[in-house]
Structure 1
């Protein structure tokens, strides 16, 4: 964790050198002058990305005459989650705190509602995707503002050359830069055939079946593509359904073409698989491609990020949002909300996306066509379809649509990937389903 305390005079000096325009909040509130504000932001892995958020905070602070202190909190060692738990228990901490995915719901009773700023932001920036609504609202209460920083889609990143050579698929023609997808034939059946062809050619798809996020996220998208839910939105256990059986059959076929150690993979494994040149496809945000640009440029030049295959019940992709939240025990709620509005302005969002090299994703519909994604390369346009600019796929999270507090346990315990591995390794279908049903029953009781 790095802590940066800046005086008001330093803010003014920094702002004088900044070329960014000051943004007017899209709502009218009482004047707020002076005081202090503390924030805990996710510590970005992209060099320079933290500087962009600091500059935006400086802009706001100089205008509002507020003294701020910023902590950049690493997610390594679960320090982000430990910070959330510590502040919730002590009922003291940052005025603004970044929380990933499930955690706003887990702390819902301690969070300040932000309906008063979310409603005008949605009116200005367009609707947010369904996953942000699912994770960011409890009933009618908005628990936080979707953060651009750290939010991501974990979609396919394919090798252009290997997919052409072994699977006879032109991913650039299927997802052309600057134009809508032409992917009607990119289905789960096509995906299986491509996985088999690339595996026989010596370049298997790098899809993990471990217990960490990347593996679970991919399984979640495929389960939803078959309409498979373990628990529905009304808290009914729905494990023993044809849809779940179909999803398991799909994974049993797919696993035959994946690296043999895929059940032991963690979140670094697929990145390494791509950068090493061994893989024809992985499921990841542009982080693996960005590392390849530095360490294996010949690999990066052949990478193309695009959409998930279409299943019987639709085309789904994993979306993992961060939220900027404010505790209800915060001493400066009005100032916190004012800053969150500033960080959510189109000009601010564009600056954050550019600083991250296109990794960070805003959740608002009108902010999915920024020039960074069209211009990033090599190859130019490789990230064009990363933010889902044509609503080509439904953004989702594994274990939904179960109520979030139940879904979080299914997700954290990696029930989906464990089911796939058990069935692939020879366990009878009904025994696998009975095991998963028992696990879900336990979560319902807790």
Structure 2
């Protein structure tokens, strides 16, 4: 059975059979007979997308004769994160709980290792990207299973017409549907020149500089494209480096041509900017395009999702994965692992992607060329490059590669966007860097 305890946020409009017998082997019931399994899933933005999860769970439950209950938990007002924290403290709750980005590390000592099922899943679906490993592993062990549902890249969504007219860039030619990108000249220098040209024409890039995730994710990818780290993988503070200085110089020039109120933007602002028709580019998953398809079809038919610009140290895409965690205090851990194996089958992943209209993004290398991304439109093929099918980008999350417990604080405190704004608004380079260094020192003490 399925129960829904929280109201779904109406955020966007909706729009390969397994060959590995090993990981599709059935859960073997023991002395507890069929048993029960309680699941807490993220409540999807896309209306109707939850049904794919419910159907796949019920399909598995009927086969294994397990009684299941599902709660869909909204991420509005951090209710999902609060649920994770509450269950961890009480050591009671769901057997499986979906959790975003940093939370597997935050509750590593209370999660059941899923290393035993991740080996076969990766063998079947392909290697996972580095960000998923960084967030989902500790000490060589898998803390949770990468969830297709909710995972996303926040890459560029450009207006075909405005970029061509004002910046002289044909984004469809640069990132053709069904073909390898021709993006050798799509660099941070080109990006900045395009932003300046579009601002001069009255259609600025809609890039936030606030303290919520969209703004932070953009800053993270840009800093990484310059090789800029506030704290390195060893936990050393590396704020006062040439790479950080270069990233700040770039950001100061970019901030000068962004909307005047960009520092106060939240995660809805760039969506509204695109849909209003006032901007030539935003950085976001396909949710904005999907809303435009419903509310402003003349805008949607001019949208094209594509790759990030390359900086001196490479091309980095903001990737935010979700995970399915199994609590160590759960009552039916073996059944939980069996279900997560089922949800990680190629056929299941394909259903998740289709149900979300291409929003959901698997972390596995062999699952980036599903037909949904090639067929979605208008215009047809607008989402083809969204999952980076040709491997042109490094998936990243802001504040990595710092140790996750430090990086999470840099991320949640929006240190990167605050640093960029301080320098852009008149602090000297050394003043801004000294502030950031002090912030990082504080994160290490806490």
TM-score by length of 1: 0.95
1:108 corresponds to: 108
In the TM superposition, residue 445 of structure 1 has moved relative to its aligned partner by 1.2
Change (3 A) 1:331 1:299: same
The whole-number CA distance in structure 2 between the counterparts of 1:28 and 1:142 is 20
What is the deviation of 1:3? 2.5
Question: Following TM superposition, by how much is the alpha carbon of 1:21 offset from its aligned partner in structure 2, in angstroms?
Answer: 9.7
SS at match of 1:54: helix
Provide the C-alpha distance between the structure 2 equivalents of 1:28 and 1:210, rounded to a whole number of angstroms: 47
Distance between the aligned counterparts of 1:358 and 1:212, measured in 2?
A: 23
**8 A contact 2:26–2:64 mirrored in 1:** no
Alignment partners' CA distance in 2, 1:45 and 1:25: 34
Which blocks of at least 5 consecutive residues in structure 2 are unaligned? Answer: 6-16
Report the Cα offset of residue 252 of structure 1.
Answer: 0.3
Is the counterpart of residue 409 in structure 1 residue 409 in structure 2?
yes
CA offsets per residue over residues 328-365 of structure 1, 9 Å max, x none?
00010000000000000000000010000000000010
Secondary structure, aligned partner of 1:199: helix
- Determine helix, strand or coil for the equivalent of 2:70: strand
Q: Distance in 2 between matches of 1:330 and 1:28?
A: 22
The residue correspondences of 1:275-286 to structure 2 (distance < 5 A) are 275-286=275-286
Aligned to 2:196: 196
**In 2: Cα distance, 1:329 partner to 1:27 partner:** 25
CA distance in 2, matches of 1:39, 1:170: 46
Cα distance, 1:45 vs structure 2:
1.1
Once residues 43 and 24 of structure 1 are traced to their aligned partners in structure 2, the CA distance between those partners, rounded to angstroms, is: 31
For residues 299 and 233 of structure 2, the distance between their equivalents in structure 1, rounded to whole angstroms, comes to 42
Contact 2:24 2:342 in 1 (8 A): no
| Aligned position for 2:353 | 353
- Taking the aligned partners of 2:392 and 2:161, their CA distance within structure 1 comes to 24
How far the C-alpha of 1:77 sits from its partner, in A, is 1.1
Partner of 2:151: 151
Q: State the Cα distance separating 1:25 from its structure 2 match.
A: 5.6
- Kindly provide the CA deviation profile for residues 113-142 of structure 1, in whole angstroms up to 9, marking residues without a partner as x: 000000000000000000000000011110
| Contact 2:80-2:99 at 8 Å conserved across structures | yes
Residues 21 and 222 (structure 1 numbering): CA distance in 2 closer, same or farther, change over 3 Å? closer
SS of the residue aligned with 1:93? Answer: coil
Contact kept in structure 1, 2:293 and 2:300, CA below 8 Å: yes
| Residue equivalent to 1:12 | none
1:396 Cα offset (Å): 0.2
Deviations 1:217-242 (A, max 9, x none): 00000000000000000000000000
The SS at the match of 1:3 is coil
Instruction: Find the aligned partners of 1:293 and 1:26 in 2 and give their Cα distance.
Output: 39
Quote the residue 1:342 is aligned against.
Answer: 342
Change (3 A) 1:351 1:45: same
Whether the 8 Å contact between 1:94 and 1:330 is mirrored in structure 2 is yes
Is 1:126 aligned with 2:123? Answer: no
Distance in 2, Cα, partners of 1:165 & 1:248: 29
Instruction: Return the TM-score normalized by structure 2.
Output: 0.95
- 1:69 and 1:133 mapped to 2: Cα distance? 29
Cα deviation digits, residues 143-173 of structure 1 (max 9, x gap): 1000000000000000000000000000000
Q: What SS does the aligned partner of 2:60 have?
A: helix
Which residue of structure 1 aligns with residue 168 of structure 2? 168
Paired with 1:249 and 1:333, the residues of 2 have a C-alpha distance of 51
In the TM superposition, residue 187 of structure 1 has moved relative to its aligned partner by: 0.4
Query: Matches of 2:429 and 2:263 in 1, distance apart?
Result: 18
| Partner residue in 2 for 1:392 | 392
Partner of 2:12: none
SS at match of 1:70: strand
**Alpha carbons of 1:22 and 1:51: their partners in 2 closer, same or farther (altered >3 Å)?**
farther
Residue 379 of structure 1 corresponds to: 379
Give the structure 1 partner of residue 14 of structure 2.
none
1:211 and 2:211 are equivalent in the alignment: yes
Instruction: Summarize deviations over 1:165-214 as a string: whole Å, max 9, x none.
Output: 00000000000000011000000000010001001111000000000000
Q: Which stretches in structure 1 are left out of the alignment for 5+ residues? A: 6-19
Q: Structure 2 vs 1, CA of residues 340 and 421 (structure 1 numbering), >3 Å: closer, same or farther?
A: same
How many residues in Structure 1 have an aligned counterpart in Structure 2? Answer: 431
1:438 — aligned with what? 438
Q: Report the alpha carbon displacement of residue 24 of structure 1 after superposing the two structures with TM.
A: 5.6
- Inter-partner Cα distance in structure 2 for 1:3 and 1:324: 19
**Moved runs in structure 1, 4+ residues, more than 3 A?**
20-25, 27-30
Kept in 2, the 8 Å contact 1:111–1:326? The answer is yes
